[in-house]
């Protein structure tokens, strides 16, 4: 089992976690709007969401860079088909 396979599985799990997290954020935001929270609370929620999304994209970029620099491209392509 190559390292490339582990990265692909990890990336898939991370993406699924992010999707469920993003669904929770949208649901929470809708609830907060219904409760008419203050502008300050809304701004804090938005800042937290943007920071998390930025961290997620950095992790994706780093993983893609690793996959591109992986010397054994054949094993990565074979296991990701």
For 9-52, write each residue's pLDDT tens digit: 555 555 555 555 555 555 666 665 555 555 555 555 666 666 66
Q: How many whole angstroms separate alpha carbon 43 and alpha carbon 59?
A: 25
Where residue 36 falls (left for φ over 0; alpha for ψ -120 to 50; beta otherwise) is left
40 versus 58: which is more confidently predicted? 58
Two tokens at 39? 């502008």
2 versus 11: which is more confidently predicted? 11
Residue 66's pLDDT is 72
The total number of structural domains that make up the chain: 1
Domain that holds residue 67: 3-80
């Amino acid at each position: 089992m190559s390292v490339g396979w582990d990265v692909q599985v990890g990336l898939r799990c991370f993406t699924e976690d992010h999707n469920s997290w993003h669904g929770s954020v949208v649901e929470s935001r809708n609830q907060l709007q219904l409760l008419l929270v203050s502008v300050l609370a809304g701004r804090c929620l938005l800042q937290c969401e943007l920071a998390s999304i930025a961290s997620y994209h950095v992790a994706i970029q780093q993983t893609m860079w690793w996959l591109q620099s992986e010397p054994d491209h054949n094993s990565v392509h074979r296991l990701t088909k």
